[in-house]
Chain A
Amino acid sequence: MRVNFTVNGRPQEADDVWEGESLLYVLRERLGLPGSKNACEQGECGSCTVRLDGVPVCSCLVAAGQAEGRDVVTVEGLADFAKQRAEGGCASGACGTTLQDAQQWKAKGTDSQTGEGTELSPIQQAFIDAGAVQCGFCTPGLLVASDELLERNPNPSDADIREALSGNLCRCTGYEKIMDAVRLAAARQSEEV
């Protein structure tokens, strides 16, 4: 079957989709967006987290057909998504991330260590600055979940952060640096206002 939906602000079409296929599979294998990671395939690890009509969900548990006509944001579009949110919408009318840009998206600017020169969302920058990334496999899911937390709750307590990220497993960091990153992003966000 064919699935038409919006990915990172742009309309996309996936063809030859098997009826039992997950949204995650469509994103990775049909649209070439490998940012959302495939790990447990049972909703335990959160590494495939995307926004579906704004709501964080495990894309491995959404049937592809259920995404028809709906709006998906993946980690590849997070920088643009955060920018538009900060600017209060799309002023130019040409927002969103094209499939090609999303496929090639890398956090690689003029300095590969600090990410400087790249358009990153504040949460992505905070993860780099706080050293919250090790192997990186859980990072996309954590970024999407953390970004949504800070959108909903700009000043989260530690308990709020732990709760919001309780569906995302990281086996490297022990979570402390991830907590630091979310606190850092929240602090920067409140300075800006």
Chain B
Amino acid sequence: MDFLRPASWEEALAAKAEHPTAVPIAGGTDVMVEINFDHRRPEYLLDLNRIGDLTEWEVGEESVRLGASVPYTRIMENLRAELPGLALASHTVASPQIRNRGGVGGNLGTASPAGDAHPALLAAGAEVEAESAARGTRLIPIDDFYTGVKRNALQPDELIRAVHVKKADGPQQYSKVGTRNAMVIAVCAFGLALHPETRTVRTGIGSAAPTPVRAKAAEEFLNAALEEGGFWDNGKIITPSVAKQFAELCSGGCNPIDDVRGTASYRRHAVGVMARRTLTWTWESYRGARRASEGAA
């Protein structure tokens, strides 16, 4: 095994171009487990810890450009206002020790269906900034990024530099099922974001399909129901039948398996419950914000 230690992003891209089988390692919280257990013996480890700008973020007009190695701890502490869904998801990652090392770039690189960040990214809307020495930078829409179980749209010579996450324009929620709060791989997870500016709702389902997915049929149903009922304007409480149907459609958006963490039918059920709850929480928060702004005016 060789340990490659690029001092700059350009050097890292060159190393990845020269050794496409090199496994990038940043926080190490996935890669080192595989090495410790002899599940993986990469020819090259490509250490990204020396590249300082991977741990930086910039808050722009529309989105936050989040460096691939920004630790979850920093996201929780610093980006709760801009990226509330992702901040909540970050808080559910493992333990403080892991959150101090791991970042969204690793979640994306591993592309496990159970990765905690995925539902939040899907719900908020995001683009993955990938780069190669040969072809430069491209932005991969998050909807096109997950291509299979632990597979993603990256080319062998590409590295993830950052992820551009849309800034929240409304309430966002994140929910995860596990046996305890800490140190849990999601049995299933659900992210929901209201986008009042476009009058749309986006979702993300984790650990209940071969890849992280959006519940698109549920989104379309809810978008239409909210529009028809004038909910965005009148700020009425969500009709229980609408919430119920939304939940059922979210369950239907799953394609889960039975495994050691839970059965397929439990996952389907739990995703429905989380969908209804997160819809209620976010909608109540939207109504509260509307009332507050009307009161002020």
Contacts and interface: CB of A to CB of B under 8 A. Distances in A.
A168 B33 CA distance: 17
Nearest to A25: B36
Contacts of B45: 19-20, 63, 65
A60 B36 contact: yes
Given A41-B36, A42-B37, A63-B45, A57 B97 contact: yes
Contacts, number: 90
Size range of the interface on B? 20 to 34
Interface in B95-152: 95-98, 100-101
Interface in A138-193: 145, 163-164, 166-169
Contact of B3 (A44, A46, A57, A63): A63
Contacts of A18: 1
B47 interface: yes
A158 to B, nearest CB: 14
B115 to A, nearest CB: 15
A57 B98 CA distance: 7
Contacts of B3: 1, 19, 63, 65
Interface in A20-63: 20, 22, 41-44, 46, 49, 55-58, 60-63
B289 interface: no
Contact of A61 (B2, B32, B96): B32
Interface of B: 1-3, 5, 25, 27-29, 31-33, 35-37, 41-42, 45, 47, 49, 94-98, 100-101, 181-183
Interface of A: 1, 18-20, 22, 41-44, 46, 49, 55-58, 60-63, 65-66, 68, 145, 163-164, 166-169
